[in-house]
Amino acid sequence: MQRRAVSELLRVSPVADDLARRFQEAGFSLALVGGSVRDALLGRLGNDLDFTTDARPEDVLKIVRPWADAVWEVGIAFGTVGCQKDARVGDTDQRFLVEVTTYRSEAYDRTSRKPEVSYGDSIEQDLVRRDFTVNAMAVALPQKEFIDPHGGLKDLSERVLRTPGTPEDSFSDDPLRMLRAARFAAQLDFDVAPEVVAAMKDMAGRIEIVSAERVRDELNKLILSTHPRKGLALLVDTGLADHILPELPALRLEDDEHHRHKDVYDHSLIVLEQAIDLEEDGPDLVLRLAALLHDIGKPRTRRFEKDGRVSFHHHEVVGAKMTKKRMTALKYSNELVKDVSRLVELHLRFHGYGTGEWTDSAVRRYVRDAGPLLERLHKLTRSDCTTRNKRKATALSRAYDGLEERVAQLQEQEELDSIRPDLDGNQIMKILGVGPGPEIGAAYAFLLELRLENGPVGHDAAVTALKKWWAERG
């Protein structure tokens, strides 16, 4: 592990050592710290470098401005100065994103959502306030002295998350660290120490003092990680999910020996994993959120039928509304809320077409309803099959293969990606001899329905149909 770290540090040393010398000449210390040291030890250090220093932010600015290619002060209120440095490393030109943070300590009070920042005087004081021991290691530069006062290297080798001090003190200082524990477990595939899990359970309600934006950002990192199921299960088991994503634990419907049905919670996590397996261009937040949330409408729509079956009628519609409400509360962008809730609403549409006998009209409507989300809907629908019945799973897969083939065939013949009537609004007004108004909207809707049902009919046939429709309306 240390050999990997040396190799990684040698790669970035032209940038790191150059910066360290500048701090040294100005009378200050500089050390690579936190996630950068952890990732170097794991052999996965990127070009985002985190440093800590005894220099105050105003002194950091004086040092980095002549050196960096760009400087930003977004985090300066918290003691952090960010900058960009383009450098030649070996035979390649590389871009490094650097953050330099003054030694600090921070704590929440019981009434504030923002941490109170105070600066420290030693690196040891800085490291003890960090979230986990694996993030509380540093490498002093340029001499490259390894600093590990809390046993982070040992915990890293054992793949376990512990806090430098007591977890209660750590989570009291910054409750978001509870969510970060789940995120790091998902990202690194680490286990969380029992005493940390116990503190998370006892202090779960404290997460509500953290702003929705910070919660959302951590949740995104967890969901986009390599092992999101591990982190999500930890959120549910500790009770944290009850405060930030209560729809997820609500999926654990109670068992009923007379009314057996799938474990919706476990099913949703499997769907998420299967959706991840279908990703082609890296992690897809829209797809992953839709997979996780696609069945959250089931608890509210569950009904026990007279024949012993359990039904969840219209759970996709209810779930779409719940998705929109939760994502809005977590301050997601309007576009992301719209896309994820739309996928939740459409995730059962395929099953409404029976055994796969797809007419051209049905295919057109499916494609139009999905719009730019079609490829994601394909992946979500395929992921939603978690049956252990291989015969049933194969039949569903073949039926969806048939749908995708029908979509491809029609796309060759028609412009399915932008289905519109054969006449536009201006043509409609000219033909009918009326100006803008609700009549034109109704005429457009009629022609669109004609297009969906029959495909392109051509200009003349569309004119004839429009005139006939207009005459029938009187």
Q: Is the pLDDT of residue 260 over 50?
A: no
pLDDT band at 261 (very low <50, low <70, confident <90, very high): very low
Q: Is the pLDDT of residue 32 over 70?
A: yes
Distance between CA atoms of residues 438 and 444, nearest Å: 10
| Percent of the residues in the chain that have a pLDDT greater than 70, as a whole number | 93
Q: Is the pLDDT of residue 393 over 80?
A: no
What average pLDDT does range 305-317 have in this prediction?
83
Helices within 129-193 (DSSP H only): 152-158, 167-173, 176-188
Give the residue extent of every domain in the chain.
1-152, 289-418, 425-472
User: By the 8 A CB rule, do 134 and 35 touch?
Assistant: no
What average pLDDT does range 297-317 have in this prediction?
84
Q: Is the pLDDT of residue 256 over 60?
A: no
Distance between CA atoms of residues 221 and 231, nearest Å: 10
User: By the 8 A CB rule, do 179 and 219 touch?
Assistant: yes
Residue-wise pLDDT tens digits, 333-357: 999 999 999 999 999 888 765 555 6
pLDDT band at 257 (very low <50, low <70, confident <90, very high): very low
Tell which residue, 10, 8, 94, 19, has the closest CA to residue 51: 19
Range 1-152 has CATH code 3.30.460.10: yes
First-to-last C-alpha distance (Å) of the chain: 82
The region of weakest confidence among 15-19, 271-275, 284-288, 447-451 is 447-451
3 state SS of 437: coil
Residue-wise pLDDT tens digits, 47-84: 999 999 999 999 999 999 999 999 999 888 889 999 99
The region of weakest confidence among 410-414, 441-445, 467-471 is 410-414
Residue 257 has, within 13 A of its CA and on its CB side, a CA count of 0
User: By the 8 A CB rule, do 69 and 94 touch?
Assistant: no
What average pLDDT does range 106-134 have in this prediction?
78
**Separation in Å, CA 260 to CA 125, 247, 256, 309, 385:** 56, 21, 6, 8, 18
pLDDT band at 279 (very low <50, low <70, confident <90, very high): very high
Tell which residue, 227, 133, 248, 151, has the closest CA to residue 182: 227
Kindly report the average pLDDT of the chain as a whole number: 88
Residue 439 carries which side chain, given as an amino acid letter? E
What average pLDDT does range 384-406 have in this prediction?
78
Q: Which residues pair with residue 85 across a beta bridge?
A: 96
pLDDT band at 416 (very low <50, low <70, confident <90, very high): low
| Percent of the residues in the chain that have a pLDDT greater than 90, as a whole number | 55
Provide the token pair at 328. Answer: 């809005």
What average pLDDT does range 27-52 have in this prediction?
93
Distance between CA atoms of residues 423 and 426, nearest Å: 8
Does the bond joining 57 to the residue before it have cis omega, within 30 degrees of 0?
Answer: no
User: Which pLDDT value is given to residue 23?
Assistant: 97
